[in-house]
Amino acid sequence: MPDVRHRPHASLPSSSSTHSLIYAVVRRIPRGRVATYGQVAFLAGLPRHARLVGYALHALPDHSSVPWHRVVNVQGRTSPRSDGMGHDQLQRLMLQREGVRFSRQGVLSLARYQWHPRTPATTS
């Protein structure tokens, strides 16, 4: 397989189809569970493209049915968005409503809450 690290979009499908792959994975994350950006990218068939997951989630319209709040960074933290609208706090609140607990430092336990799908397929 060719190394595309220096050309991150060289082997990727179009933006809309890439986003669709990502959204299909995110929709599978159950309530009370989380996945990391890198995990979602891998499951969507886009290994080493965690940043694209962030771009796709950022592109979601308000009130989307895609559970974007279930995607966290590899440290188990919510990632603040550059828009300054407090989405990281909203994300934390939404996860807490699903039973996810955070430490005083704002970290959730990936060992406890990370989703481990039985199959990596993005479609059912």
Residue in the block written with tokens 């499908």: 13
Per-residue pLDDT for 20 more than 90? yes
Please name the fold of domain 15-61+68-113.
Answer: Arc Repressor Mutant, subunit A (1.10.10)
Rounded to two decimals, what is the model's pTM? 0.82
Per-residue pLDDT for 123 more than 50? no
C-alpha separations of 72 from 5, 12, 21, 52 in Å: 23, 23, 18, 14
Q: Where are the domains of the chain?
A: 15-61+68-113
Helices (H) and strands (E) in the chain, counts: 5, 2
Rounded to whole angstroms, the Cα distance separating 24 from 112 reads 23
Tell me the one-letter amino acid at 40. V
Rounded to whole angstroms, the Cα distance separating 82 from 85 reads 8
pLDDT tens-digit map of 35-87: 999 999 999 999 999 999 999 999 999 889 999 999 999 999 998 765 556 67
Task: Looking at the chain, list the stretches that DSSP marks H as alpha helix, in order from N- to C-terminal side.
Answer: 15-28, 37-43, 50-58, 87-97, 110-113
Rounded to whole angstroms, the Cα distance separating 104 from 23 reads 30
Rounded to whole angstroms, the Cα distance separating 33 from 12 reads 28
